[in-house]
Amino acid sequence: MLLLVGLIAVALVFDFMNGRNDAANSIATIVSTRVLSPRYAVAWAAFFNFIAFLIFGLHVANTIGTGIVSASTINDQVIFGALIGAIGWQIVTSYFGIPSSSSHALIGGLVGAGVAHGGVGVIVWAGLGKTISAIVISPTIGLLLALLLVLIVSWSFLRVAPARADGIFRRVQFVSASLLSLGHGGNDAQKTMGIITALLFAHGALTGAFHVPFWVVLSCNGAMALGTLLGGWKIVRTMGSRITRLTPMQGVCAETAGAITLFLATYLGIPVSTTHTITGAIVGVGAARRASAVRWNVAQRIVIAWVITMPAAGIMGALAYYAFAAFH
C-alpha cells in the first residue's frame, strides 16, 4: 500500500511539472501581446486547467491506461520507469528552456519501461501509432487553422481602424486564452489519470471495466492547475515572442486554432502535445504575415526537441525500470 501511495505521489509530481512547463503554451500569446501580465495570466490559465474535467469526457485517460502498452504489463516497476523517464526529460528540457512535450515524454517513458519489462510485444501498436502520427498532424492542423483564421479575420477587419481592432482583440483574447487552457487541462491532465488508474487496477484497488475514479480526476486537475500557477517564464518567452512577435489579433487566431485542435483530439481520445499544437499555430500566424516573420532557427530547435523526446524519455524509462527492479 505504501508503494502504491508513493507511486501516485510521483505521478502527481509529474502532473504538477506538466502544468508548470506547459503553462507557457496556454498563456504565452496573451503575455506576449501584453494583454495580461505573467502573474495574472498564470492564475487565469490555472483556473481553466482545473475546471476542464467538467467539460470533457475521459477518452484520453482510457488510451493512456489501456492503449499504449498492454494493460497486463502494468506493474509498479513499469509505472515507476514511465514516470521517472518523463520527469527526467522534463527537468532537462526545462533547464535549457526548450518547449518539449510532457505528453510524449510520458508516453516514451511508458513504452521504454514496458518494453524493458516484456519486450516489444507489449506495445499496442494501434494506440501508439495514433499518438506518434499526432506529433505531425496536431501542429500541422494548428498551423493551417491559424493561417486560415488570420486570413478570414484580416479580411473581415479591413475597414476597421487599427486602434479599434486592437482594442476588440485584446478583449476577445481573454476568451481564446480560456479555451486554450481548457483544452490543455482536458487533454494533458487525463494522461496522468490514465497512469494512476492503470496502477490502481494493477494493485486490485479497482476491478471491472477501465474507469477513472472521481478523486483521481480532481487530484490530477488540481496538481496541473497548481503547476500552471507556478509556471516557468523561460518557456513562456520562447513560445510567445522568440518564434514570432504577435499582435492581439494574431494571438486570438493562434489560441483559437490551438484550442480547436486540442478539443478535437480530446474528443477522439488522442493524447496530443499542447506544445506541438500551439507552436504550429504560432508559426502559422507568423507565416501569414510573411515567412521571414518566423524565427525559423528557434522553431527548428523546438522541432529537434520534439523528435528526440520520445526516444530519450524511453531510454530513461527503461533505465529507471531496471534500477527499480534491481533494488526491489
> What tens digit of pLDDT does each residue of 64-106 get?
999 999 988 899 999 999 999 999 988 888 777 666 778 889 9
At 93 the pLDDT is 80
DSSP code per residue over 69-104: B-GGG--HHHHHHHHHHHHHHHHHHHHTT----HHH
Contact 181, 28 (CB under 8 A): no
Q: What are the residues whose beta carbons fall under 8 Å from the beta carbon of 12, sequence distance 6 or more?
A: 192, 219, 220, 223
Kindly report, residue by residue over 205-216, the tens digit of the pLDDT. Answer: 898 889 999 999
Q: Is residue 243 scored above 50 in pLDDT? A: no
Average the pLDDT over each of 44-58, 197-211, 226-240 and give the range with the smallest value: 226-240
CA distance 151 to 155: 6
Contact 289, 245 (CB under 8 A): no
Q: What are the residues whose beta carbons fall under 8 Å from the beta carbon of 113, sequence distance 6 or more?
A: 77, 78, 79, 80, 81, 82, 85, 317, 318, 320, 321
Q: What are the residues whose beta carbons fall under 8 Å from the beta carbon of 90, sequence distance 6 or more?
A: 14, 17, 18, 21, 100, 102, 105
Q: Is residue 239 scored above 70 in pLDDT? A: no
Handedness of CA 60, 63, 66, 68 (dihedral sign): negative
Q: Compute how many other C-beta atoms are within 10 angstroms of the C-beta atom of residue 294.
A: 19
State which amino acid sits at residue 11: A
Looking at per-residue confidence, does 216 or 294 come out higher?
Answer: 216
Based on the structure, what is the number of domains in the chain? Answer: 1
At 300 the pLDDT is 67
Kindly report, residue by residue over 127-181, the tens digit of the pLDDT. Answer: 999 888 887 888 889 989 999 999 999 889 888 888 888 889 888 988 998 898 8
State which amino acid sits at residue 229: L
- pTM recorded for the entire structure: 0.86
In terms of residue numbers, what domain contains 263? 2-327
Average the pLDDT over each of 24-28, 72-76, 151-155, 225-229 and give the range with the smallest value: 24-28
Average the pLDDT over each of 18-32, 81-95, 131-145, 301-315 and give the range with the smallest value: 18-32
Kindly report, residue by residue over 256-282, the tens digit of the pLDDT. Answer: 999 999 999 999 999 988 877 888 888
Looking at per-residue confidence, does 69 or 33 come out higher?
Answer: 69
Kindly state the DSSP code that residue 305 receives in the 8-state scheme.
Answer: H
Average pLDDT of every residue of the chain: 84
Place of cell 488540481: 222
